[in-house]
Amino acid sequence: MKKDHSVLDFVRLSVAQKVEFGRNVIVKVKASPKFATPDVSIEELEAKNTLLETRSVAAMSGGKEATALMHQTEDEWVDLMRKMARYVDRIADGDSAVILSAGFDLAKQPAPVERPEFSAQHGERSGSVLLRHIAVAGARSYIWQYYKGEVPEATSEWTTAEITTKASAELEGLVPLSKYWFRSAVVTVAGTSEYCKPLMLIVM
C-alpha cells in the first residue's frame, strides 16, 4: 500500500487564500516539536508570506509593476511551500496525522481496482460468450448456466451449459443478436454455493 503524502493543491489557491494557508502552516509547524529543523526556515517562510500579502494589497490599486511584483512573490512563495511540504512528508513517513498536523492536505489514494466476482463477454466467434468467475480456493468445479430471453423467475428455467474445474468457460452455439442471461456457482467440499447475480449480454 502506498504511503500517505501531502498534496500540492495550494498552488491553485488565490493569492489571498495562499496567504491564509501560509499563516496556518506557519502556526502549526511552529507549534510541533516534530518539525524542529525544517528545510525552509520558519522565519523565511513567514517573511515571504507577509510580503505576498503586502504586495497583493498594493496590486489591488492597479499598475503593471505592482501586479508583476505580486506574481513574482507568489512564485517564490509556492517554491518555499513546496519545499516545506516535501520536508513534512519526509518527517511524516506516511503518517497522515503528522501531515495534517502541519496544515497540509492529504493526496487522495487511488481506489483499489476490484475484479468482479463474475463476468461475461463476447467470444472471438459469433454466437460465443466467455464467462469468468473469480477463482475460489478449494473449488472442485464451477457450474455455468444461461437463459435466453428475460430473466427467468423459476430456477428450473436455467440451462446448465457446462461444469468445469477451471474458473472460466466459453459457451458456443448461442443465437446471435439475442438477449441471454448468465450466472455461475462454485462447488466446494462444503457444497454448492448460491448462484451469483445474473449478467445480461446481447450475443454477437
What is the pLDDT, as a whole number, of residue 1? 52
Rounded to an integer, what distance in angstroms lies between the CA atom of residue 169 and that of residue 163?
8
> What is the chain's mean pLDDT, rounded?
90
Residue 113 pLDDT grade (very low, low, confident, very high; cuts 50, 70, 90) = low
pLDDT, mean of residues 140-160: 88
What is the pLDDT, as a whole number, of residue 3? 80
Q: For residue 106, give the DSSP letter.
A: B
Note every long-range contact of 124-129, with CB atoms under 8 Å and residues 24 or more positions apart, other chains counting. Answer: 125/172, 126/176, 126/204, 127/172, 127/173, 127/174, 127/175, 127/176, 127/203, 127/204, 128/170, 128/171, 128/172, 128/173, 128/174, 129/170, 129/171, 129/174, 129/180, 129/182, 129/201, 129/203
**Rounded to two decimals, what is the model's pTM?**
0.54
Residue 109 pLDDT grade (very low, low, confident, very high; cuts 50, 70, 90) = low
What's the grid cell of residue 7? 498534496
Residue 139 pLDDT grade (very low, low, confident, very high; cuts 50, 70, 90) = very high
Convert the pLDDT of each residue in 166-176 to its tens digit: 999 999 999 99
pLDDT, mean of residues 88-102: 93
Give residue limits of the domains in the chain. 9-101, 118-202
**What is the CATH code for 118-202?**
2.60.40.10
DSSP letters of 161-179? EEEESSSEEEE-SPPTT-E
What is the pLDDT, as a whole number, of residue 2? 67
Helix (H, G, I), strand (E, B) or coil at 131: strand
What is the pLDDT, as a whole number, of residue 115? 65
